[in-house]
A and B are shown apart, each in its own frame.
Chain A
Amino acid sequence: MLAVATWEGLQRQKHEAEAAGADFHQRHQQEIDDYRDAIDGALRLGLQRLEAAVAELGQGNAFCRDLAGQTANYVEWMRWSLGDLPYFAFAISPSEEQIEQNLPGCALVYFAGRVLDDFLDRHHLYRGRRFTLLSALADQRGLGGEADALTVLMAVLLTVEGLVQVQEGGAAGEKLAAQVLRSARGLLIGILMDRSGPELWSLEFYERLIEHKNVDYWRLLYDALDPAHRSPLYPVLARYYALAQKLNDLEDYSRDELQGRPNIVSIHRLVAGVADNGAETTGEVLHSIETTLADEMLQLGRQARSLPEPARAIALLKIGEMQGACERIGFFVQPAEIAKTNGSKTERSAAKLGLAWHSGLEEFVQRRGVEALERVACPACGGDRPQVVFRKQGFGFNRCAECTHLYVSPRLRSEYSAQLAVESAETAYDPFLETQKIYAESICRTLSQYSTGQRLLDLGHGAGYLMLMARAYGFQVYGVDASAVSSDALKPVFGDRLQQMHVDEQTLPWGNFDQAVMSHVLEHMAKPRQTLPKVHAALNSGGLLYVAVPDSESLQFRVFGKKWDAVSPIAHPQFFNQESLSRLLRDTGFEPLLRVHSPKLLGPERKRWMRLFRRLGGDESGELAILARRVPDPPPA
């Protein structure tokens, strides 16, 4: 726990940073958007030049072009990691020519580092969201040396192409290329240092490691905007990125320790001469590091405040974001003395899980013990006659002998899956949310056809495609979602008609709806028998409920079995079929009206496999969608 004065200082700093950030965004959002466009454009230009060079030098060789295309595609997806650059560009004010000249090359070298990191850390799925270049190559060439070699070659090619592009900028370009080479050399040495054993670790080693692996890596990008390091923002940012890595280490220490990699916690423990990993010792070390980092954060804040505008506002904005992230993962919490006075909770929130949706049962048990799991009866009918059908990621899928529902038991406790959801939302955007847009219009049409009123509640709105479409259809739309990120993104349009909440744990804040939509929500719920009555209560008598879930009798499941991506024991502990879903609906006061079939996709989105699935009697989505009606209330006696 921090000292009261330190905590208060951090709070003041956070509020100041929030105010500066809000003011900055209000005034300069347009300019930031413009810089973001320019930076995206520059990256695309760099990738186009890469692809053109490969096509020209390889004389149109299809293999080389395909590899370059896949690499460009992956790098373009990763462009979100340039999210801070528009802010720095605003402070530095580089000319458009400078961005166009310097950034494409520098960004390619920067992304080469990402590709290399995927190879070294064996990332096949980027934070559980997107297949990496390594994974795509392993798919084509098989797991093994060739895919690895191609990945490294593509990283080298990105670096070389980046340097060529930078050098094309004349004398200034040559100077910048030398700088980029120095930063790249530092990064490579940092990566090597990261692989060294604990006998070589020390506090100096750690500082040097961060300087190379993180600050040099950041410089690869920064130099494109400010090659001479003239901006007053530069020293603050160099310090900021070192501190950010330390905080990141604090978050990920359990994973790093499992992998035997240097981490701030392990190194401090080593330096303190503590050999065991006992909880008590770890707690003390964590406390000491937290205090040191809080002081560093305050010093950084002071340095930021002394900057001229707009560097000051941008530095404070970044510091505020970092402080907010620390609080979300349970660091810099309110000291007990203050909490006692205020009567608030001081418990440190659970340390970050550091796992992903594809993690195995053993990994959860390793991190959180067997208490992370719970055994459950059939969540659809309450029956307790399960039969294990198959296993995935170590979790058993059981079929209920009474209602044929498929469910996971023992399963991950809901608080851990909720934590995993929060952590995943923080790290990357979920591309599966994008698939919602395909059916949003079809759902609106179905509801328009059967509904008698305009009030619509979207439970689990995700990216909000359905809400936005339903609004365009003239519905009065309300929405709830467990993710704060999703909720915040839609606030500018829906304001108070959105609520961030867990439907299975909390009561719905509104009522009297004419229809509710639960599209791909019920399969995530731990206790659907407790959730549906809440929806029932929120609907008017005779109100409609549209439920869509992955279908355990779909063609996809019959063909791919447990390899179907909808079969996920952590994300989807339930796996319904028409019988089990209808029974659940009837038990909770609904009357299934009809099964809604997925509309055929048309146009360029319609792929060959989709036509094949239709011909075989299935559809593209493999979903089971039912339109049910709340059983009308009996007339008053």
Chain B
Amino acid sequence: MTATITAPARLSPWQMEAFLLRSLPWLLRQQLPTGELLCYRKEPGRDAVPYPYPLFSALASEALTCLDPRSPYFSPRLHDLIPASRRRACTRVIITIRWRIRYYLAAEEDAGGLWRLHGRSGSSAPDLATTACAAALLLEERHDAPARHVGAVRRLMAEQPGDALGWLFGLRLLSLAGEPDPVSLQAVGQLIANEIGDPIPVAWAMDQVEHDGHIVFGRAIRDRPPSAIPPAGSRLRMAFAVSSLLHRGHRGPELDRGIDALANDPAPPWLLEHDPLRHFVASPAATLAIILRTMAQALANEDAGRSTC
């Protein structure tokens, strides 16, 4: 018997093309000479100021794998939306951004395989999420993770027991390094069950663990994070939520609205509102990269929707 599953969200190719063509050159301009992507900190009642936050560079680099043909997560559908005459240039931009981020993160590594929250030159505390994501990124071109990175992540997991986002990324690194840790998995489950941390990014990070780390969370844990699309305003959270719903195989008009809002938002990236993830810090470039990846995911889902079974 053959049945066709309805395509969940229809992305108009010309809208996606316009979105890509205006985003990529801007993304390149958001990269500092050091290789880091510009981040801004905006405390309540103050204006935004450029503020170093390496985690966003790492997250953006991971997200941009969807347009990097060398990556296993490359999305040919997204790539095809770029006009043929511009594809080579766009690919060059993505590859350049990614290798510059990689060199930046390598230069930011502190003694003991740690990454600090605001970069190596300051006195900020080592950060678990930053360390785990940066180490995972450097692992991309190697087969084995340096023991110092794995050790550093384990140490930080012990020191920062309440950091759900950090623990999830830590767990993913351990899994990528071939050292999956059932005890940590249990501890993360506990953190999520106790609703520690912002649930939308935590749910998204959980998907990354499942996707990259090949770890499957129990149903009880997976079902805890909210499945609803957040109200408009935060494009980053919207992208996280849409990505999570796609990952979990949801369908429906609510998801379509979320995808529509991401792809067809009339605000250009340089006018994005301050959209912090943690510590009042936001990175429009990283937000954009994560939106791009979510788009790639949506396109892949459309393909799956058209397939027959």
Do residues B117 and A492 form an inter-chain contact, with CB atoms below 8 A? yes
Also in contact, A492 and B49, with CB within 8 A (given A27-B162, A33-B279, A40-B44): no
Query: CB of A594 within 8 A of chain B?
Result: no
Also in contact, A30 and B162, with CB within 8 A (given A474-B32, A493-B124): yes
Chain A's nearest CB lies how many Å from the CB of B74? 31
Query: CB of A24 within 8 A of chain B?
Result: no
Do residues A492 and B46 form an inter-chain contact, with CB atoms below 8 A? no
CB contacts under 8 Å to A, within B38-59, are 38, 44-47, 49-52
Do residues A469 and B118 form an inter-chain contact, with CB atoms below 8 A? no
Do residues B119 and A493 form an inter-chain contact, with CB atoms below 8 A? yes
Query: CB of B122 within 8 A of chain A?
Result: yes
Top 5 nearest A-B pairs (CB, nearest first) are: A474-B33, A492-B124, A472-B50, A493-B122, A495-B122
Do residues B50 and A471 form an inter-chain contact, with CB atoms below 8 A? yes
Query: Chain B residues near A491 (CB, 8 Å)?
Result: 122-123
Query: CB of A185 within 8 A of chain B?
Result: no
Do residues B123 and A492 form an inter-chain contact, with CB atoms below 8 A? yes
Do residues A469 and B117 form an inter-chain contact, with CB atoms below 8 A? no
Also in contact, A495 and B121, with CB within 8 A (given A434-B46, A465-B49, A471-B52): yes
Query: Chain B residues near A600 (CB, 8 Å)?
Result: none
Also in contact, A493 and B47, with CB within 8 A (given A30-B163, A471-B52, A474-B32): no
Do residues A468 and B122 form an inter-chain contact, with CB atoms below 8 A? no
Do residues A468 and B49 form an inter-chain contact, with CB atoms below 8 A? yes
Also in contact, A472 and B278, with CB within 8 A (given A27-B160, A434-B47): no
Question: Beyond the given A471-B50, A472-B38, A497-B121, could you list 5 further A-B residue pairs with CB under 8 A, ordered by the A residue number?
Answer: A40-B44, A437-B47, A493-B119, A493-B121, A495-B122
CB contacts under 8 Å to A, within B92-134, are 117-119, 121-125
- CB-nearest residue of chain B relative to A497? B121
What's the Cα separation between A40 and B45 when bound, in Å?
A: 10
- Size class of the B contact interface (CB-based, 8 Å): 20 to 34
Query: Chain A residues near B34 (CB, 8 Å)?
Result: 474
* B33, B46, B122, B125: most-surrounded residue (chain A CB, <10 A): B122
What's the Cα separation between A493 and B52 when bound, in Å?
A: 7
Query: Chain B residues near A465 (CB, 8 Å)?
Result: 49
CB contacts under 8 Å to B, within A454-477, are 464-465, 468-469, 471-472, 474
Do residues A469 and B279 form an inter-chain contact, with CB atoms below 8 A? no
Do residues B124 and A469 form an inter-chain contact, with CB atoms below 8 A? no
Query: CB of A344 within 8 A of chain B?
Result: no
Chain B's nearest CB lies how many Å from the CB of A260? 37
Query: Chain B residues near A40 (CB, 8 Å)?
Result: 44
- CB-nearest residue of chain B relative to A437? B47
From B50, B52, B280, contact of A469 by CB (8 A): B50
A-B contact pairs, 25 of them (CB 8 A): A26-B159, A30-B163, A31-B162, A33-B279, A33-B280, A37-B44, A40-B44, A77-B45, A437-B49, A468-B51, A469-B50, A471-B50, A471-B52, A472-B32, A472-B38, A472-B50, A474-B33, A474-B34, A491-B123, A492-B123, A493-B51, A493-B118, A493-B124, A494-B122, A495-B122
Query: Chain B residues near A497 (CB, 8 Å)?
Result: 121
Query: Chain A residues near B123 (CB, 8 Å)?
Result: 491-492, 495
- Per-position binary interface string of chain A over residues 374-413, scored 1 when its CB falls under 8 Å from any chain B CB and 0 otherwise: 0000000000000000000000000000000000000000
What's the Cα separation between A37 and B45 when bound, in Å?
A: 12
Query: CB of A122 within 8 A of chain B?
Result: no
CB contacts under 8 Å to A, within B43-91, are 44-47, 49-52
Chain A's nearest CB lies how many Å from the CB of B31? 11
What's the Cα separation between A134 and B252 when bound, in Å?
A: 56
Query: Chain B residues near A15 (CB, 8 Å)?
Result: none
Chain B's nearest CB lies how many Å from the CB of A328? 21
Chain A's nearest CB lies how many Å from the CB of B187? 16
Query: CB of A614 within 8 A of chain B?
Result: no
Chain A's nearest CB lies how many Å from the CB of B77? 35
- Per-position binary interface string of chain A over residues 22-51, scored 1 when its CB falls under 8 Å from any chain B CB and 0 otherwise: 000011101101000100100000000000
Query: Chain A residues near B280 (CB, 8 Å)?
Result: 33
Chain B's nearest CB lies how many Å from the CB of A608? 21
From B44, B121, B122, B278, contact of A30 by CB (8 A): B278
What's the Cα separation between A472 and B52 when bound, in Å?
A: 9
What's the Cα separation between A446 and B50 when bound, in Å?
A: 18
Chain A's nearest CB lies how many Å from the CB of B125? 6
Query: Chain A residues near B52 (CB, 8 Å)?
Result: 471, 493
What's the Cα separation between A471 and B38 when bound, in Å?
A: 10
Do residues B51 and A28 form an inter-chain contact, with CB atoms below 8 A? no
What's the Cα separation between A497 and B121 when bound, in Å?
A: 8
Chain A's nearest CB lies how many Å from the CB of B147? 25
CB contacts under 8 Å to A, within B133-173, are 159-163
- CB-nearest residue of chain A relative to B53? A493
Query: Chain A residues near B47 (CB, 8 Å)?
Result: 434, 437
Query: Chain A residues near B51 (CB, 8 Å)?
Result: 468, 493
What's the Cα separation between A469 and B52 when bound, in Å?
A: 11
What's the Cα separation between A474 and B33 when bound, in Å?
A: 6
Chain A's nearest CB lies how many Å from the CB of B117? 7
What's the Cα separation between A334 and B279 when bound, in Å?
A: 39
Chain A's nearest CB lies how many Å from the CB of B38? 6
What's the Cα separation between A26 and B121 when bound, in Å?
A: 19
- CB-nearest residue of chain A relative to B44? A40
- CB-nearest residue of chain B relative to A465? B49
Query: Chain B residues near A434 (CB, 8 Å)?
Result: 46-47
Query: Chain A residues near B119 (CB, 8 Å)?
Result: 493
Chain A's nearest CB lies how many Å from the CB of B29? 12
Chain B's nearest CB lies how many Å from the CB of A484? 14
Query: Chain A residues near B38 (CB, 8 Å)?
Result: 472
- Per-position binary interface string of chain B over residues 182-204, scored 1 when its CB falls under 8 Å from any chain A CB and 0 otherwise: 00000000000000000000000
Query: Chain B residues near A472 (CB, 8 Å)?
Result: 32, 38, 50
What's the Cα separation between A474 and B100 when bound, in Å?
A: 14
- CB-nearest residue of chain A relative to B165? A30
Query: Chain A residues near B46 (CB, 8 Å)?
Result: 434
What's the Cα separation between A495 and B45 when bound, in Å?
A: 25
What's the Cα separation between A307 and B240 when bound, in Å?
A: 41
